Structure 1
Amino acid sequence: MKYFSIAPSEKLAGLVRCFWVLEMESFSGAPYIHRTMADGCIEMVFHYQGIFDELLNNEQQATSFSSGISGPSQQFKRFSIDQHFGIFGVYLYPFALAELFGIPALALTNEMIDTGTILGTAGKELEEKMMLARDNQHRIAIITQFLESRLTRRKIKYHAISETIRQIISTDGMSNVQRLADDSFLSMRQFQRNFKEHTGFSPKLFTRIARFQAALQKYPEKESLSLTDIAYDCGYYDQSHFIHDFKEFSGHHPGAYFSGKAEGTKWITV
């Protein structure tokens, strides 16, 4: 298993958090289970080798797309594959969907839609180029050129709510929502409406997911931190709230997740 991330170009840095690659070059034994967690951000995903099956709640499976866009999600999903694979991802701020493609994040909340369906002919052409690229450096060049070309013709320019969203993410969900609304010079109702259009979620839910994501980032420190330490470090008032949110957004009790043996955590240790 191999995982690494790459910083975007300077032009894209305001919209793209990073590019990432996950590969498994050899395979043996039981199928690999991958679990996606709740996330307020958006991902473009290209499966250039191998296709995962999504494991549904009714114990059935459905073949996932070869490439697509995963919108902001408050849910966890499970995927399975029994062969070697390679995935290239683009991790975007939620407002990037509107700025690059003219689509509000609200339209893709809890949705995963294939590239051709959402971006039409341009999406199908992009998928083909990414699949046929000789290596990941070439894929970075292809997606960078594609996204930078969208920047030059975007109709939606900088929106004040974008900085608010960025601040919530950078403070791991510990920003004061009322203060952010006041700073935006909008009524709370206007602020909440604009915020939901750009993120897919209410400010309260978005900050909960941001705190949860901050907790996930504590995984490398699991040997030195207790669950109580992680909960307080991430702004939870008590451990019960931490456990409730963690189970809702990941499907795992935090104790199981930070044990290092939970399903869907293998890629984090590479």
Structure 2
Amino acid sequence: MNYYTIQPPDILKPFVRFFWVLEHELSADEPQYVYRSIADGCTEMVFHYQASFDEITDDGRQNGGPSGIQFQTDTYRRFITSESFGIFGAYIYPFAVPRFFNIPSSETSNLALDYDTFLGNAGRELEERIMLAPNNLKRAEILTDFLLMRLRHNTPTDDRIITSIRHVIHSKQRRTVGQLADTFNLSTRQFDRRFKEYAGFSPKTYLRLIRLQDAIQQYGSNKSLTQIALECGYYDQSHFIHDVKAFTGYHPGFYFSGKAEGTEYRNA
């Protein structure tokens, strides 16, 4: 399995964390591959340039998991393919959604939309150009140009709230919602409403999502699950188990074992 990232140009870094590529060749010993996407506080633009996936739902397999946008989500999804595949994606801050697409993040949470449905002709043209690109560096260039054009045509956003979301994502400080509101000179009610508009979820839920991501960053370390839980701000082991199961579908003992669906690229 081949996974790597591509850094966006500096002008795009305030909005796009990175571009990524996942490629894998199936074989007679591995006739199919199941991928599990977990809850995440960021948005992903995904392009299947080689093969495609079907989504596996509680009701069984669902045909046609097309390229599209998975907005910030507090749930997990499962996908399956029987072909060797190549995927190009962009990992985007949630507060970039209003800038790129002129829609509040609060209206997109947990949505997964194909480009035709969400962007119409512009989405279809973008997807076609990405699919026909000769390599992933060119795909990154095409998507960069598309996103920069969207930035120029949409209005600026609330800098205080953007700063607060960045703080939650990148700072290892563990603060309550009230403390965050005080830091950015807003009442708790104001902060909650405006944060949700740009992050897609209430501050309380978003803090849980980021705490999960912080824990997952410890994947492959030699730390015990207890150490990971404490370092990431979980009150106790049961709290840690509850959130990991809710957001990944797995007990943390299994998720961090290296055997869970969707973790293979972390083992590469």
Question: TM-score category by the smaller chain?
Answer: over 0.9
- Superposition deviation, residue 256 in structure 1: 0.6
- Superposition deviation, residue 158 in structure 1: 4.9
Aligned length: 267
Distance 1:110 1:87 in 2: 21
* C-alpha contact 1:50 1:86 (8 A) present in aligned 2: yes
* C-alpha contact 2:3 2:22 (8 A) present in aligned 1: yes
Unaligned runs of 5+ in 2: none
- Superposition deviation, residue 203 in structure 1: 0.3
Greater shift, 133-142 or 25-34, is seen at: 25-34
AA aligned to 1:242 is F
Question: Could you say which residue in structure 2 is the equivalent of 1:55?
Answer: 56
AA aligned to 2:50 is Q
* C-alpha contact 2:177 2:188 (8 A) present in aligned 1: no
Question: Could you say which residue in structure 2 is the equivalent of 1:268?
Answer: 266
AA aligned to 1:252 is Y
1:102 aligns with 2:102: yes
1:258 aligns with 2:259: no
- Superposition deviation, residue 117 in structure 1: 1.4
Runs of 4+ in 1 over 6 A off after TM superposition: none
Q: Show CA shifts across 1:132-184 (max 9, x none).
A: 00000110110111111222222134532011001000025723321221122
1:46 aligns with 2:44: no
- Residues 167-206 of structure 1 mapped to structure 2, 5 A cutoff: 167-172=167-172, 174-206=174-206
| CA RMSD after TM alignment | 1.4
Aligned-partner SS, 1:60: strand
* C-alpha contact 2:51 2:83 (8 A) present in aligned 1: yes
Question: Could you say which residue in structure 2 is the equivalent of 1:90?
Answer: 90
Distance 1:72 1:152 in 2: 23
Distance 1:141 1:200 in 2: 28
1:230 maps to which of 203, 210, 228: 228
Distance 2:8 2:257 in 1: 33
Q: Show CA shifts across 1:36-94 (max 9, x none).
A: 000011011111111101000122333211x2111110001111011101100100000
Distance 1:7 1:51 in 2: 25
Distance 1:264 1:91 in 2: 16
Distance 2:198 2:69 in 1: 16
AA aligned to 2:104 is P
Using structure 2 for the length normalisation, give the TM-score. Answer: 0.96
AA aligned to 2:36 is R
Question: Could you say which residue in structure 2 is the equivalent of 1:32?
Answer: 33
Question: Could you say which residue in structure 2 is the equivalent of 1:244?
Answer: 242
Identity %: 49
* C-alpha contact 1:4 1:22 (8 A) present in aligned 2: yes
- Superposition deviation, residue 185 in structure 1: 2.1
* C-alpha contact 1:21 1:86 (8 A) present in aligned 2: yes
1:220–1:260 distance in 2 versus 1, CA, 3 Å: same
Using structure 1 for the length normalisation, give the TM-score. Answer: 0.95
* C-alpha contact 1:3 1:20 (8 A) present in aligned 2: yes
- Residues 133-148 of structure 1 mapped to structure 2, 5 A cutoff: 133-148=133-148
Greater shift, 247-256 or 177-186, is seen at: 177-186
